[in-house]
């Protein structure tokens, strides 16, 4: 079976959310609408190829450039605010958002969100109206020739056949159309279907925001993975085009830059508070698939992957057109997709955003900095499959491993026997020379050798014991594998992304209105207080935050939890006051308590 036939056999079905504007397309038509630019640091960008003159062949031409230079495409010029407003109004009719992201999170996250919005003004960003302009061009192209395209390749690695599917969109309008994190011209998304060498599907991995390694993949028999026959179903995020296994609305948190140390400190404090002091709610220690650990300074966003819109792929509303990407070693400029290897630049506007979220992505092979993507050169390692033996090789691999361990165990035993003989000889000599004063220097040397040999024998015996236990485990595993038993389908997942539950989506209009107004009210209230009673600004601020937090808790039906958190906070403050006021007496009391404890323990031992 050819690579293209393989790709077609397992090609995915992509289900979009109603209101989505952009669908996977071919790069040919996109590039024909683009101009090519070069941006060097501290210099205005230079247009290398104007609109309508750019082709894929031209794009693949070599272009030497100084260090720090960025090549990028420019797809559209932003529309005027009036035209963009028309687009937004139309979009609001098509897309019905449910409970807003701000109502799903707490007051702190909303304050941080307000700050994040301010950073957008300062950072480089895709201009407003770009999505509207891109949509106009995309619609024109589709009306002329409606096509839904994916790019793919088959890579054989480590006993697996990896079918890599790439989807190209001319715009990511997550921020401007769906209240998301970012916008950027062009978007590349990927999934990989992993087959065993006998072409049986084993795993599927979907690229999804910041998830990496094992968490990206699902086993073919995992109930979370929806399929249409041999075709996995992807639920694409509205505007973001991130891939999800289940339909729903996903809370996505973006950590603010430089918040890492604070998050780590808070995590450690929480661990001590919950684990050591056993305070508050139980930490889900033994729970598999913990929800993604969120940071302290995070901005919340919702990714809508409802799957209620267009369905592309087998059994869907539209069919795919498949295009094969060149093999890693096929660098011929004559290949129709030679740009895969030869164009390292960005596929859309370079917005000069320092945290890169608004810059367009590079192609399927490259990262934004021009380095090769891991999913390209190591598709197995990208989804954490490099450590997984394909099922067809499993029995043989276990047998081989058992044999190696048995061999090592036998070697260890031989070594132990040899060393024991040496050790006993040394022991005899040490005993014999004990009563001979003229052997004093040799005796010390003997004792040193005895200690070293003894430690070496202990290490060998420990390793043998571990090997023995490992062998037992492998033999048991082999028996389970031979009887057709498999590990649980989700045992490899550490953190999983689950859609919001209905409970979190049903807090009502009032909560949503409060979420939208609360941060603004807090700021206005503070300003009024500063003008009216500047002397009491601190007391006033504390009272204002307390009242707003309490109202917030009422709207979220979490008044009890709020009281608990508030009282615990006050108790910590009170403890700090007592320590500050009575540091010396407390120290003395502590020392007295320690002394009493030692006396009690010793007396108990005496009498015990």
The tally of CA atoms less than 13 A away on the side-chain side of residue 446 is 17
Least distance between other proteins and beta carbon 492 (Å): 14
Contacts 24+ apart (CB under 8 A), 406-414: 406/471, 408/463, 408/467, 409/464, 409/467, 409/468, 409/471, 412/460, 412/461, 412/463, 412/464, 412/467, 413/464
User: b or e along 551-568 (b: 16 or more beta carbons within 10 Å of the residue's beta carbon)?
Assistant: bbbebbeeeeebeeeeee
d(CA 132, CA 9): 36
Least distance between other proteins and beta carbon 214 (Å): 16
d(CA 337, CA 360): 20
Among the listed ranges 51-59, 354-362, 378-386, 575-583, the one in contact with other proteins (CB under 8 A) is 575-583
Cβ atoms of residues 496 and 289 within 8 Å: yes
Lookup result for tokens 């045992």: 491
Q: Return the residue of 420, 574, 583, 589 that touches other proteins, per CB under 8 A.
A: 574
Q: Return the residue of 42, 145, 503, 605 that touches other proteins, per CB under 8 A.
A: 503
Among the listed ranges 1-9, 48-56, 459-467, 578-586, the one in contact with other proteins (CB under 8 A) is 578-586
Residue 577 interacting with other proteins (CB under 8 A): yes
d(CA 560, CA 318): 51
Cβ atoms of residues 216 and 206 within 8 Å: yes
Least distance between other proteins and beta carbon 603 (Å): 24
Residue 445 interacting with other proteins (CB under 8 A): no
Q: Residues 534 to 563: which contact other proteins by CB under 8 A?
A: 558, 560-561, 563
Tokens for 248?
């729903």
Cβ atoms of residues 181 and 252 within 8 Å: yes
Q: Which is nearer to other proteins, 428 or 570 (CB)?
A: 570
Least distance between other proteins and beta carbon 574 (Å): 5
Q: Which is nearer to other proteins, 91 or 243 (CB)?
A: 243
Q: Which is nearer to other proteins, 94 or 542 (CB)?
A: 542
Residue 368 interacting with other proteins (CB under 8 A): no
Residue 575 interacting with other proteins (CB under 8 A): yes
Q: Which is nearer to other proteins, 560 or 604 (CB)?
A: 560
d(CA 358, CA 351): 6
Residue 505 interacting with other proteins (CB under 8 A): no
Cβ atoms of residues 202 and 220 within 8 Å: yes
Least distance between other proteins and beta carbon 279 (Å): 5
Name the β-bridge partners of 206.
191
Residue 603 interacting with other proteins (CB under 8 A): no
Q: Return the residue of 578, 587, 588, 596 that touches other proteins, per CB under 8 A.
A: 578
Q: Other CB atoms closer than 10 Å to residue 318's CB: what's the count?
A: 15
Least distance between other proteins and beta carbon 581 (Å): 7
Least distance between other proteins and beta carbon 569 (Å): 9
DSSP 8-state symbol, 272:
I
d(CA 129, CA 91): 13
Least distance between other proteins and beta carbon 301 (Å): 19
Burial class (CB in 10 A: 0-12, 13-18, 19+), 217: buried
Q: Which is nearer to other proteins, 469 or 588 (CB)?
A: 588
Lookup result for tokens 């209905």: 502
Q: Other CB atoms closer than 10 Å to residue 520's CB: what's the count?
A: 11
d(CA 480, CA 504): 41
3-state secondary structure 507-553: CHHHHHHHHHHHHHHHHHHHHHHHHHCHHHHHHHHHHHHHHHHHHHH
Cβ atoms of residues 136 and 361 within 8 Å: no
Q: Are strands 201-206 and 184-196 parallel, antiparallel or unpaired?
A: antiparallel
Residue 121 interacting with other proteins (CB under 8 A): no
Q: Which is nearer to other proteins, 198 or 287 (CB)?
A: 287
Q: Which is nearer to other proteins, 281 or 605 (CB)?
A: 281
Q: Residues 272 to 331: which contact other proteins by CB under 8 A?
A: 277-282, 284, 287, 289-291
Element (H, E) at 61: none
Number of residues that bind other proteins (CB under 8 A): 38
Virtual torsion, Cα 184, 185, 188, 189, nearest 10 deg = 50
Least distance between other proteins and beta carbon 547 (Å): 13
Least distance between other proteins and beta carbon 270 (Å): 13
Cβ atoms of residues 95 and 17 within 8 Å: yes
Cβ atoms of residues 18 and 95 within 8 Å: yes
Least distance between other proteins and beta carbon 487 (Å): 17
Q: Residues 198 to 227: which contact other proteins by CB under 8 A?
A: 223-224
Residue 564 interacting with other proteins (CB under 8 A): yes
Least distance between other proteins and beta carbon 309 (Å): 21
Q: Return the residue of 80, 506, 571, 602 that touches other proteins, per CB under 8 A.
A: 571
DSSP 8-state symbol, 158:
T
Residue 228 interacting with other proteins (CB under 8 A): no
Q: Which is nearer to other proteins, 277 or 531 (CB)?
A: 277
Least distance between other proteins and beta carbon 284 (Å): 8
State the sign of the Cα–Cα–Cα–Cα dihedral 373, 377, 383, 387.
negative
Least distance between other proteins and beta carbon 498 (Å): 4
Q: Return the residue of 19, 24, 239, 499 that touches other proteins, per CB under 8 A.
A: 499
Q: Which is nearer to other proteins, 470 or 551 (CB)?
A: 551
Please state whether 345 falls in left (phi above 0), alpha (psi between -120 and 50) or beta.
Answer: beta
Among the listed ranges 28-36, 450-458, 498-506, 525-533, the one in contact with other proteins (CB under 8 A) is 498-506
Q: Return the residue of 128, 159, 427, 566 that touches other proteins, per CB under 8 A.
A: 566
Q: Which is nearer to other proteins, 153 or 217 (CB)?
A: 217
d(CA 389, CA 467): 21
Least distance between other proteins and beta carbon 250 (Å): 11
- Site of interaction with other proteins (CB under 8 A): 223-224, 246, 248, 277-282, 284, 287, 289-291, 490, 496, 498-499, 501, 503, 558, 560-561, 563-564, 566-568, 570-571, 573-575, 577-578, 581-582
């Amino acid at each position: 079976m050819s690579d293209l036939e393989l790709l077609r056999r397992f090609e995915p079905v992509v289900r979009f959310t109603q209101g989505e504007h952009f669908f996977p397309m071919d790069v040919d038509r996109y590039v024909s609408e683009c101009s090519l630019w070069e941006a060097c640091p501290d210099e205005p960008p230079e247009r290398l190829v104007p609109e309508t003159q750019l082709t894929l062949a031209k794009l693949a031409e070599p272009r030497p450039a100084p260090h720090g230079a960025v090549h990028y495409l420019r797809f559209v010029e932003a529309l005027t605010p009036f035209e963009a407003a028309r687009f937004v109004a139309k979009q609001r009719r098509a897309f019905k958002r449910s409970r807003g992201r701000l109502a799903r999170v707490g007051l702190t996250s909303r304050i941080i969100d307000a700050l994040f919005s301010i950073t957008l003004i300062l950072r480089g960003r895709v201009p407003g109206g770009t999505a509207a302009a891109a949509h106009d061009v995309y619609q024109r192209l589709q009306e002329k020739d409606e096509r839904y395209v994916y790019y793919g390749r088959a890579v054989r690695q480590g006993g697996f056949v990896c079918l890599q599917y790439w989807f190209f969109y001319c715009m990511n309008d997550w921020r401007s159309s769906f209240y998301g994190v970012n916008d950027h011209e062009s978007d590349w998304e990927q999934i990989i279907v992993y087959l065993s060498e006998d072409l049986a599907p084993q795993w599927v991995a979907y690229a999804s925001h910041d998830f990496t390694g094992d968490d990206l993949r699902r086993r073919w028999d995992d109930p979370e993975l929806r399929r249409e026959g041999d075709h996995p179903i992807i639920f694409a995020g509205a505007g973001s085009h991130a891939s999800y296994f289940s339909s729903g609305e996903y809370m996505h948190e973006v950590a603010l830059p430089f918040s890492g140390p604070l998050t780590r400190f808070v995590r450690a404090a929480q661990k001590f508070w919950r684990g050591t002091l056993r305070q508050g709610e139980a930490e889900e220690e033994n729970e598999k698939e913990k929800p993604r650990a969120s940071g302290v300074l995070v901005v919340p966003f919702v990714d809508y992957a409802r799957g209620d819109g267009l369905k592309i792929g087998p059994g869907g509303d539209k069919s795919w057109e498949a295009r094969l990407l060149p093999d890693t070693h096929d660098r011929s400029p004559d290949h129709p997709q030679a740009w895969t290897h030869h164009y390292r630049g960005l596929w859309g506007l370079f917005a000069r955003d320092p945290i890169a979220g608004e810059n367009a992505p590079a192609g399927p092979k490259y990262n934004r900095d021009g380095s090769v993507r891991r999913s390209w050169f190591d598709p197995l390692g990208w989804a954490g499959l490099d450590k997984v033996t394909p099922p067809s090789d499993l029995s043989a691999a276990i047998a081989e491993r058992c044999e190696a361990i048995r061999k090592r165990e036998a070697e260890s035993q031989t070594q132990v026997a040899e060393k024991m003989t040496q050790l006993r000889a040394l022991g005899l000599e040490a005993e014999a020379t004990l009563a001979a004063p003229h052997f004093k220097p040799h005796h010390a040397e003997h004792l040193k050798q005895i200690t070293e040999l003894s430690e070496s024998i202990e290490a060998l015996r420990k390793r043998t014991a571990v090997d023995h236990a490992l062998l037992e485990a492998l033999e048991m595993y082999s028996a389970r594998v031979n009887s057709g038993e498999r590990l649980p389908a989700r045992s490899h997942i550490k953190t999983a992304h689950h859609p919001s539950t209905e409970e979190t989506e049903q807090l009502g209009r009032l909560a949503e209105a409060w979420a939208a107004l609360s941060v603004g009210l807090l700021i206005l209230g503070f300003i009024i207080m500063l003008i009216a009673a500047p002397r009491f600004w601190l007391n006033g601020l504390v009272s204002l935050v307390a009242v707003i937090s309490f109202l917030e808790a009422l709207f979220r039906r979490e008044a009890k939890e709020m009281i608990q958190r508030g009282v615990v906070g006050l108790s910590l403050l009170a403890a700090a006051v007592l320590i500050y006021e009575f540091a010396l007496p407390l120290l003395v009391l502590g020392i007295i308590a320690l002394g009493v404890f030692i006396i009690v323990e010793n007396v108990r031992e005496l009498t015990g």
